[in-house]
Structure 1
C-alpha cells in the first residue's frame, strides 16, 4: 500500500513538472505525451482505487482482530472464574470430609453448633438466650422422648407447644421451626452417610436450608424480644 501511494505521488509530480515546462516554453515538447498522460492517469486512478480497497480491507481485518481479542479476554476471565469456583468447592468439600461424623461438634456457615449424632441445629447461640429458645429446647426434648417410645415419628403441633404456656401465634412459629430442624437433620444425615460422594447440589441444598433456618431463628428471637 505504501509503495502504491509513493508511485502515485511520483506520477503526479512528473505530470505537473512536464506541464510547467510546456507552459514556460509555449509548445508541446513531447507530441505523444497527451496519450501517455491519459494512460498514466487511468493507471493512477486504478492504483488509487486498489489502494482504497486495500485500506478498507485492512480496517476490517483490524476490527475483526479487536473483536477476537475481546472474545479471548472474556473466555480467559470466565475460565479463571470457573477455576476459582472449582478450587472453592474442592476446599469446602475437603473441609466437610475432614470434619466427618466422628468430630464432636461442628459449626454451620452461621457459626451455630450441630449435634453430630442427630444432625439437628441448636436453637441457642449464647448463654443470654431468652425463654422462647429454652421452650424450643424443651419441646425438642419431649419430641425425642416420644420418638423413643413410638415406632412412628410425627411433627410437633402448635397446640402441643401452646399447652406449656406459650401464645398460639408463637407456638405455631416454634412448630414450623422444629419442622425446619427436621429437614436440616435429613440433609446432615445424607452428608454423613455419603461422605466424599456428596454432590454440589446436595451441598447447595444444605446451604439454602441452613440460611432459611437461621432466618427463622432470628425472626423468633425478635418476637421473643418484643414479648420480654
Structure 2
C-alpha cells in the first residue's frame, strides 16, 4: 500500500483562499474575544474587591455558570437561544453582518472573562495588605488605588495563567463552526469535503493552530520576562 500525500492539492486555488479566509476570521474572533474578556475579567475582579454583598453574588453566579457549562453549549445558547428573543430588526442586522461570528465572540468572551476574573483575583490575593493600606494612607480612593497601584501588580502576578487562557481562547474559536462561523476548522472541513483529502486538510489546520499557539506562548513569555525585570528594579 502506497501512502499518497498531496499537500499542494488542498492549498491551491479556491482551497487555499478558504484556508486564508478561515484563518483571518479565526484571528479576528480570537482578538476581539480576548479584548472583551480582559475588560470583563478586570471589571468582575474589581467588583469582587468591593466586598459588596450584591456584587459578590452577581459575580459569583456569573463565574460559576461560565466555568461549569461547556463553552460549546454557551455558544449554541447565544446563537439559538438569545438571538431568538431579540427584536426582529436586530436579528436581521445580525444575519446580514456575520451574526455567527458575533455570537461566537460574545460567548467565548463571557466564558474566558470568567476564567480571567479568577486569574486576576488570584493576582490580587498575592498582593500584601500593606499595599492597600499604603494606598489609603496616600488619600487614594478605591478606584484610583485599583487603577494605579493594585491592578498593575495583580496583572503582573497573573500573567502566566492569563497567557495559558489566551492560548485556550484561541483554540476554542474552533467551536464557532458549530453555528456556521466560517473560521479555520469550518474551512478545513469544507476543503476536506470537496477534495476528500482528509489527512492533508487537517494537517494544514494542525500546523496553523500549532504555529499561532506557539506565537501566543512566545509573546506571553516575553511579557512575563519583561514584568519580572520591571519588578526587580
TM-score (norm 1): 0.27
Higher helix content, 1 or 2: 2
* Larger Cα-atom Rg: 1
TM-score by length of 2: 0.27
